[in-house]
Amino acid sequence: MNPVDHPHGGGEGRAPIGRKKSATPWGYPALGRRSRKRNKYINSRIEKIEFVSSSLQKIGGIHYDTVTKKNPFVANHLLRKIKKLNTKAEKEIIITWSRTSTIIPTMIGHTIAIHNGKEHLPIYITDRMVGHKLGEFSPTLNFREHAKNDNRSRR
C-alpha cells in the first residue's frame, strides 16, 4: 500500500521532529535570536602549529609519527611566553597549569613549572620529551606505603 493512500497520512519524507525555535525552561517560545555561539570558546583558543616535517622526522633517534599526523594542542598563553623568551634568547622558569599541552621543539632548553594539583614542579625540557604531554612529567599522586599488617594494632 502506498503511504499517501493510508488514512493516517504519509506523503513525502518524514515530518520534522522537535522544536524549530528555542524555548524557555518552562516550554514557552523564546523571544529574540539564539544567544549560544556556534563556535565554542576553546576552538578560538587553539592555535594550530605548523611543523617542518624534516625537523620532526627524527629527533634523538625516535620517530614522532603521531605528532606529524595531526597538529598537537599547545595552550595559547604558553606558546606566547615561549616565543617571547626565544626572541629575547633568555631562559627563565615558565609557570603553567596546562598539563594537556604537547611539548614541541621550540620548548627544548626551557624550564617549565607544571602544576600537579598542589604545587608547580620545575621540569627541564629535553629533545627526548618532544611529542609527550606536559602532565606526563609531573605526577599528581604520591604513593606513601601500604598500611602495616600489625596484629598488635588490631587489639
Q: What angle do CA 58, 70, 41 make, to 5 degrees?
A: 135
What's the CATH number where 92 sits? 3.30.860.10
Chain segment 61-84, per-residue pLDDT in tens: 445 554 456 788 999 999 999 999
- Nearest alpha carbon to residue 56 among 93, 102, 4: 102
In the chain, the number of structural domains is 1
Chain segment 96-140, per-residue pLDDT in tens: 999 999 999 999 999 999 999 999 999 999 999 999 999 999 999
Read off the pTM: 0.53
Q: Is residue 18 included in any domain, yes or no?
A: no
Beta bridge partners of 135: none
Residue 43 has φ and ψ, to the nearest 5°, of: -65, -30
* Amino acid letter, residue 27: G
Beta bridge partners of 123: 112
Collapsing DSSP to helix, strand or coil, 83 comes out as helix
Q: Is residue 49 included in any domain, yes or no?
A: yes
Q: Which residues constitute the domain of residue 71? A: 41-137
pLDDT of 52 above 50 = no
Radius of gyration of the chain (CA): 27
Q: Is residue 145 included in any domain, yes or no?
A: no
Q: Is residue 93 included in any domain, yes or no?
A: yes
